[in-house]
Chains A and B, each alone.
Chain A
Amino acid sequence: MSFARHFFARPTAAFGFAVFLLIVVIALAAPLIFARGPFNIVGMPLLAPGSPGLLAGSDVLGRDMMVGLAYGARISLLVGVTSTLGAIGIGVLLGAVAGYYGGVVDDLLMRITEFFQIIPTFVLLMVLVAFMQPSLGSAVIGIALISWPQVARVVRGEFLSLREREFVQAARVLGLGDANIIFTQILPNALSPIVVISSMMVGNAILTESALSFLGLGDPNLLSWGSMIGGSRSAMWVAWWTTVLPGLCIVVTVLALNFIGDGLNDAFNPRRRG
């Protein structure tokens, strides 16, 4: 597959892929390696990294930072991937319909996406999550709801250009229904830009989820990197690792995803390289 070769030819893409894979493995393996969970209190609070048995130190409640970081990966990845899938689902659907039918439907979609561009989206997200009561589900739904417009715009653009193409007209002549044409004919050809931005979207979703948890709008029963940073606001003054380490995890994960995105972009658009 020349696609894979193109992708991995770029050193950053390969690096990003490897790192991301590692994080996924850690996330999946966390319950196996750290069976007692991240809430287990192992000793006195705010012990420095390198203390006996605590490679990453302990947090403000005396919990093992290392375990918290590993479990935090699960939340970040879960929210990042699910909300992105949700955003893509909604965005593809609405974008396809708008791009295919045009006219009033398209205008309506454009107005709605404009609305999302004009209002402060993070504030909207806060309102949504607060209204739905902070939880994992509300974070996923909220992030999906503010992320779909960008997907819809891209899909709409693709559909607008693709719907006049010959293979579509041929399909119509053959008597295929609209839904059929949309999903089986045009959509497969419109998806490559979505794939390219999907990894960036996951990265952004992870950043957004961590921001929500930082502000205390995340699930109070779960430990995520953002909530670890949020819970360390006072502790940072006496224990820097409670803030630095979870943040570094976020940076590494999102960086890896961005590298993957860059690689996908190059692989899909080989003429842009160089």
Chain B
Amino acid sequence: MKPRYIAMRLVKTVLVAATVVVLSFFLIRLAPGDAATVMAGQAGYADETFLKNLRAEYGLDQPLPVQFWKYVDAVAHGDLGTSYVRRQPVLSVIMERLPNTLLLDGFALLVAATGGVWLGALAARRPGSAGDNAVSVLSMLFYAVPQFWLGMMMVLFFAVWLSVLPPFGIETMGADYTGLARLSDVAEHMILPGVTLALYYMASYARLTRAAMIEVSEQDFVKTARAKGISERQVARRHILRNALIPLVTYAGLQASLLVGGTVLIENVFSWPGVGTLAYEAVQGRDNPLLLGIFIVTAILVSLFNLLTDIAYAIVDPRVVLER
């Protein structure tokens, strides 16, 4: 039963990716500028024959339907085209940067989930208390803070004023660390952007945990457990938390999807060499193949994350039956 469901979902993923390819292709083609003008811009000038050769090389002088079918054919074979600006295959450019984004996303997810759940549990234990209100207010505050500004505040505080953490990049430039030294260097650089990313989502985790835990703790089976004399702690751990996991897992999946395409601002502020900065450069440089490639890769990743979330959901809540 389950394998068939997974197979169906994979097929659906491919279909969705296909839709993304089609729609994005035409959307981005609408934008003015092509390879020739981009590269002429970089060289300072280019004469007509050079531009014509370039257009022929990139197949831009052919009618749109032809270009589209060629592109679809290439994508089906795993070739996402060549970046105008970098003159490298799009897929390899993206794959170079993707691990950096995923690393940051993973760290942010971890920090947000653990921090948020801990805060939410704290607040749920004594609803209405000063601690609970503080958590609520903080949550509301972080929803209202622009991510990029929060990032800049972190830089201001920890790099400009206190000088304790590096504000830019993924590792110290030119140091060429290896092994453990490199790991610690990257970890150090990951702190500011990761925490900034996490803070926004932490608020949501806290709210969700608090709400779920309060709701569950008011249910009969928990009251029964309490009446039976089982300690508060065991009650919390065994019953409340487990039931609160469902909305949390759903939210984690949502956060993962949001993060995949949503790190543009943080990566920009911290000059983190990930897919977000790549997307920004692609927009600035009118690098259509790269943009399209980013859309496709992101779509596939998000679909995969959705699938993983659904599976995790099914594992956590055996009452859920995965069939459609």
Q: Do chains A and B directly touch (beta carbons under 8 Å) in the complex?
A: yes
B67 CB-CB contact with A under 8 Å: no
B155 contacts across to A, CB distance below 8 A: 236
Task: For the complex, count residues of B whose C-beta is within 8 A of A.
Answer: 43
For B283, the closest partner residue in chain A by CB is A126
Q: Is the CB of A243 within 8 A of B261?
A: no
**Bound-complex Cα distance A257 to B303 (A):** 32
| B20 → chain A closest CB, angstroms | 6
Interface check A247, CB cutoff 8 A:
yes
**Interface core residue of B140, B146, B152, B257 (most chain A CB under 10 Å):** B146
Instruction: Point out the residues of chain A lying under 8 angstroms from B148, CB to CB.
Output: 210-211, 214, 229
Instruction: Indicate if B158 sits at the interface (CB-CB under 8 A).
Output: no
Supposing A115-B20, A120-B261 touch, asked if A233 and B152 sit within 8 A by C-beta, the answer is: yes
* Cα–Cα, bound, A246→B148 (Å): 12
CB distance from A103 to the nearest CB of B (A): 18
Given known A120-B295, A122-B261, A123-B264, contact A243–B152 (CB-CB < 8 A): yes
Partner of A126, one of B32, B153, B257, B280: B280
Q: B20, A118: Cβ atoms under 8 Å?
A: yes
Contact partners of A121 in chain B: CB under 8 A: 261-262
Chain A 196-218: CB-based contact to B (< 8 A → 1; otherwise 0): 00000001000100110011000
A226-257 to B contact mask, C-beta < 8 Å, 1/0: 10010001001100100110110011101101
Q: Separation in Å of the B268 CB from the closest CB of chain A?
A: 7
Question: How many angstroms between the C-alpha atoms of A161 and B303 in the bound complex?
Answer: 28
* Contact indicator A115/B19 (Cβ below 8 Å): yes
Q: How far is the CA of A251 from the CA of B268 in the complex (A)?
A: 20
Given contacts A203-B144, A236-B156, contact A126 B264 (CB under 8 A): yes
**Least CB distance, B93 to chain A, in whole angstroms:** 15
Contact B20 A255 (CB under 8 A): no
Q: Would B265 and A211 count as touching, CB distance under 8 A?
A: yes
Tell me how far the C-beta of A186 lies from the nearest C-beta in chain B, rounded to whole angstroms: 28
Query: Is A171 an interface residue when CB atoms closer than 8 A count as contact?
Result: no
A216 to B303, CA, bound (A): 31
From B19, B146, B280, A111 is in contact (CB under 8 Å) with B19
| Other-chain residue from A122, A131, A237, A254 in contact with B32 (beta carbon distance below 8 A) | A131
Q: Does B291 belong to the interface (CB within 8 Å)?
A: yes
Judge whether B16 and A118 touch: CB under 8 Å.
yes
Nearest-neighbour CB distance to chain A for B101, whole angstroms, equals 11
Interface string of A177-206 (1 = CB under 8 A from B): 000000000000000000000000001000
Complex contact B283–A127 (CB within 8 A): yes
Segment among B21-29, B41-49, B81-89, B107-115 that sits at the interface with chain A: B21-29
Q: How many angstroms from the CA of A246 to the CA of B153 in the assembled complex? A: 12
- With a cutoff of 8 Å between Cβ atoms, the chain B residues found around residue A237 in the complex are 160
Partner of B261 from A123, A131, A226, A246 at Cβ < 8 Å? A123
Whether A255 lies near B147 (C-beta < 8 A) is no
Q: What residues of chain B lie closer than 8 Å to A257, measured between beta carbons? A: 144
- A262 cross-chain contacts in B, Cβ below 8 A: 140
- Does B299 touch A at the CB level, under 8 Å? yes
Encoded as 1 (CB less than 8 Å from any A CB) or 0, chain B from 271 to 284 comes to 00000000110011
User: Hey, which chain B residues are within 8 Å of A259, CB to CB?
Assistant: 140
Please pick, from B23, B145, B261, the residue contacting A115 in the complex, using a CB distance under 8 A.
B23
Q: Given A126-B283, A214-B265, check contact A118 B160 (CB 8 Å).
A: no
Contact A255 B295 (CB under 8 A): no
Task: Say yes or no: A123 contacts B295, CB within 8 Å.
Answer: yes
> Which of chain A's residues 98-117 have a Cβ closer than 8 Å to chain B?
111, 114-115, 117
> Which residue of B156, B294, B303 is within 8 Å of A123 (Cβ)?
B294
Residues of chain A with a CB closer than 8 A to B27's CB = 124, 127
The answer to whether A130 has its CB under 8 Å from any CB of chain B is yes
Given contacts A126-B280, A258-B143, contact A119 B261 (CB under 8 A): yes
**Chain B residues in 8 Å Cβ range of A233:** 152
B7 at the interface (CB under 8 A from A): no
CB–CB A236/B264 < 8 A: no
Return chain A residues, CB-CB under 8 Å to B181: none
On whether A247 and B149 interact (CB within 8 A), knowing A114-B16, A215-B268, the answer reads yes
B66 at the interface (CB under 8 A from A): no
Task: Say whether B146 contacts A250, CB under 8 Å.
Answer: yes
The answer to whether B264 touches A119, judged by C-beta atoms less than 8 angstroms apart, is no
- B28 CB contacts on chain A under 8 angstroms: 127
| Contacting residues of chain A (109-161) with chain B, CB-CB under 8 angstroms | 111, 114-115, 117-124, 126-127, 130-131
Q: Which residues in A have some Cβ–Cβ distance to B below 8 Å?
A: 12, 111, 114-115, 117-124, 126-127, 130-131, 203, 207, 210-211, 214-215, 226, 229, 233, 236-237, 240, 243-244, 246-247, 250-252, 254-255, 257-259, 262
Binding site for A on B (CB under 8 A): 16, 19-20, 23-24, 27-28, 30-32, 140-141, 143-149, 152-153, 155-156, 160, 257, 260-262, 264-265, 268, 279-280, 283-284, 286, 291, 294-295, 298-299, 302-303
Of the A-B pairs whose beta carbons lie under 8 Å apart in the complex, a sample of 25, sorted by A's number, is A115-B19, A117-B257, A119-B24, A119-B298, A120-B260, A120-B261, A120-B279, A121-B261, A122-B264, A123-B294, A123-B298, A127-B27, A127-B283, A131-B30, A131-B31, A131-B32, A210-B146, A211-B146, A215-B265, A215-B268, A229-B152, A240-B156, A255-B141, A255-B143, A258-B144
Known: A119-B299, A211-B265. 16 other contacts (CB 8 A): A115-B19, A118-B299, A119-B24, A122-B261, A126-B264, A131-B32, A211-B148, A214-B148, A215-B265, A236-B156, A243-B149, A247-B145, A247-B152, A251-B141, A254-B144, A255-B143
